[in-house]
């Protein structure tokens, strides 16, 4: 048997004499792979898939989100840009004391800096993300019994966050575009990795203890992400 079908999920099977445990992988294109010890009973594989079904559907939703067409924003009057889940309209102005600022419910961009608008906005987001995320890490670190060495905001590609060597935490600057409760989930997720490097049941128990409704937040992030928000 080279494939396993469980309801609407089809897995390519990869048996191995060296493997001791079952593992599911969602490839970049959304293909499902089930690696298993050679000779594993079909029933055991089906039970494993059923147990992991929520995780599988979440990962597939994430892949679909990444495939969506991203509509690049235009730096023109009235264009909306997210900040902590709220869309603020852009207004081009003259004679402003800063190239870009959020004032009176609008992003105000000095017209003479229009050619540099994207860089200015990303820098603005990164600065706010550093402040906001650092505060949230501080809020949760004690209750989760962790002490991250440092917090860094940068472009992480398709990842919202990452836990690196020596207890360093990294967050995507785009996290500051998310609604607060969703960005908070990203923080808790990465803090849990300071205890558990992999997404084991123990890892998810730690997340749940810190954030009992994490599954709803996690699902929202997988389903919505940036909703095609391109900057």
Strand residues in 86-216 grouped as ranges (E): 86-93, 100-103, 106-110, 150-154, 161-164, 168-172
pLDDT tier at 59, thresholds 50, 70, 90: confident
Burial class from Cβ neighbours inside 10 Å (0-12, 13-18, 19+) for residue 9 reads: middle
pLDDT of residue 70: 60
CATH classification code of 71-230:
3.30.2010.10
Mean pLDDT calculated for residue range 8-18: 89
pLDDT of residue 2: 80
What are the residue ranges of CATH 3.30.2010.10 in the chain? 71-230
Mean pLDDT calculated for residue range 51-78: 80
pTM of the model: 0.73
Average pLDDT value over all residues in the chain:
90
């Amino acid at each position: 048997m080279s494939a396993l079908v469980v309801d609407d999920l089809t897995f390519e099977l990869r048996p191995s004499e060296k493997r001791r445990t079952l593992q599911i992988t969602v490839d970049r294109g959304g293909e499902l792979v089930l690696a298993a010890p050679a000779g594993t009973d079909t029933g055991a594989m089906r039970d494993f898939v059923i147990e992991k079904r929520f995780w599988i559907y979440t990962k597939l939703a994430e892949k679909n989100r990444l495939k969506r067409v991203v509509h690049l924003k235009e730096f023109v009057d009235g264009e909306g840009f997210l900040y902590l889940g709220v869309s603020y309209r852009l207004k081009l102005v003259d004679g402003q004391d800063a190239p870009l600022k959020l004032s009176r419910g609008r992003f105000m961009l000095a017209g003479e800096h229009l050619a540099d608008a994207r860089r200015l906005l990303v820098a603005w987001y990164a600065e706010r993300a550093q402040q906001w995320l650092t505060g949230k890490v501080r809020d949760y670190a004690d209750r989760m019994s962790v002490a991250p060495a440092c917090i860094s905001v940068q472009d992480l590609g398709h990842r919202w966050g990452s836990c690196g060597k020596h207890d360093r935490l990294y967050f995507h600057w785009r996290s500051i575009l998310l609604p607060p409760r969703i960005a908070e989930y990203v923080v808790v997720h990465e803090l849990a990795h300071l205890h558990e490097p992999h997404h084991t049941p123990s890892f998810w128990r730690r997340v749940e203890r810190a954030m009992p409704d994490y599954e709803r937040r996690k699902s929202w992030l997988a389903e919505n992400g940036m909703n095609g928000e391109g900057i």
